[in-house]
Each structure stands twice: as structure tokens, then as C-alpha cells.
């Protein structure tokens, strides 16, 4: 498991962006500098290795990523006609909603290091969702 986390109070050199959505993580800032977006994503996922433990959570992450992509495309289409229309605003609001949901999940996994399905899977270990995800 990648332990590239900085304790910001003890670090002296690198200034890490202090967004409330993104934990102080060297990996995430490294991903901005990679030319290959795919490579950077893989780097990010590997670093998150300590995160998604259950298959259900991994599926949720994937689902949310796909939703973001889909809804951004939808929003762009809807807004082509009229940027100030209700439909356009609602479409971008949906993008925000799923982006935030994805970020929350990521934050939960990386900062709290707890899979949201933890207590559910303790009670229902035999379900599909609760298969342990091998990194």
C-alpha cells in the first residue's frame, strides 16, 4: 500500500494544495504533471490501494466515474442551445452531485481508510457486493 501521505505540519519543503475534498497526498499532485491521463489514473488507483476493500465499493467507484463522464457529455449537449435554460443548470447540477459523491467516497477511503460497506459486509459476507477486492 502506497504511503505517500504527508503530515503537513511536519513537512517543510513541498506545499500541498489544501482542498477539503482532496486529502494532502503527493500522488494526487503528481497525477497533474503526468502527460498520460491513463497512467496518472493508474497511479492514483494504486496509491488508493488501501481503500476499496469490497467489490461493491470498487463497483461504486467505477459507476460514479462513468456517471461523471456521461453527465458531463449530457450537460454539454443540453447547454449547446441555451446556457441559461433550466435544463442546462439542472444538467450541470447533476454533474456536481456525482462529482461530489465520488470525491466523498474517495475521501472516506483515503482519509478514514474505512470501506463504507464494512458494517454491511460483516452482517452479509456472502453477498456479491462483499467479495473482497484483491489489489
Partner 1 sequence: MAVCPVYTTQSLNSTCSISTPSKTHFSSHHNHLVFYRTSKRTSKRGGSSSCVITCSAGDSQTVVIGLAADSGCGKSTFMRRLTSVFGGAAEPPKGGNPDSNTLISDMTTVICLDDYHSLDRTGRKEKGVTALDPRANDFDLMYEQVKALKSGIAVDKPIYNHVSGLLDPPELIKPPKILVIEGLHPMFDERVRDLLDFSIYLDISNEVKFAWKIQRDMAERGHSLESIKASIEARKPDFDAFIDPQKQYADAVIEVLPTQLIPDDNEGKVLRVRLIMKEGVEHFSPVYLFDEGSTISWIPCGRKLTCSYPGIKFSYGPDTYFGHEVSVLEMDGQFDRLDELIYVESHLSNLSTKFYGEVTQQMLKHADFPGSNNGTGLFQTIVGLKIRDLYEQITASKTAAPLQATKA
Instruction: Verify binding: residue 81, partner 1, rule CB under 8 A.
Output: no
Q: In this structure, what DSSP letter does residue 132 have?
A: B
Restricted to residues 37-56, the positions that interact with partner 1 (CB under 8 A) are 37, 40-41, 44, 56
Closer by beta carbon to partner 1, 83 or else 128: 83
What whole-number distance in Å separates Cα of residue 16 and Cα of residue 97?
A: 25
Question: Number of C-alpha atoms within 13 angstroms, CB side, residue 81?
Answer: 8
Instruction: Verify binding: residue 104, partner 1, rule CB under 8 A.
Output: yes
Binder of partner 1 out of 2, 4, 26, 94 (CB under 8 A): 94
Closer by beta carbon to partner 1, 63 or else 135: 63
What whole-number distance in Å separates Cα of residue 58 and Cα of residue 118?
A: 13
Sites of contact with partner 1 (CB under 8 A) = 5-12, 15-24, 28, 31-32, 37, 40-41, 44, 56, 60, 63-65, 68-73, 75-76, 79, 83, 86-104, 107-108, 111, 114, 116-117, 119-120, 123
Amino acid at each position: 500500500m502506497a504511503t505517500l501521505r504527508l503530515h503537513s505540519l511536519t513537512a517543510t519543503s513541498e506545499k500541498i494544495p489544501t482542498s477539503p475534498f482532496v486529502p494532502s497526498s503527493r500522488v494526487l499532485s503528481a497525477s497533474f504533471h503526468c502527460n498520460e491521463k491513463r497512467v496518472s489514473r493508474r497511479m492514483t488507483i494504486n496509491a488508493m490501494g488501501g481503500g476499496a476493500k469490497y467489490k461493491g465499493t470498487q463497483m461504486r467507484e467505477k459507476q460514479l466515474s462513468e456517471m461523471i463522464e456521461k453527465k458531463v457529455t449530457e450537460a454539454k449537449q443540453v447547454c449547446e442551445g441555451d446556457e441559461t435554460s433550466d435544463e442546462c443548470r439542472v444538467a450541470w447540477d447533476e454533474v456536481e452531485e456525482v462529482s461530489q459523491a465520488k470525491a466523498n467516497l474517495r475521501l472516506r477511503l483515503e482519509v478514514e481508510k474505512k470501506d463504507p460497506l464494512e458494517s454491511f459486509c460483516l452482517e452479509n459476507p456472502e453477498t456479491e457486493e462483499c467479495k473482497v477486492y484483491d489489489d
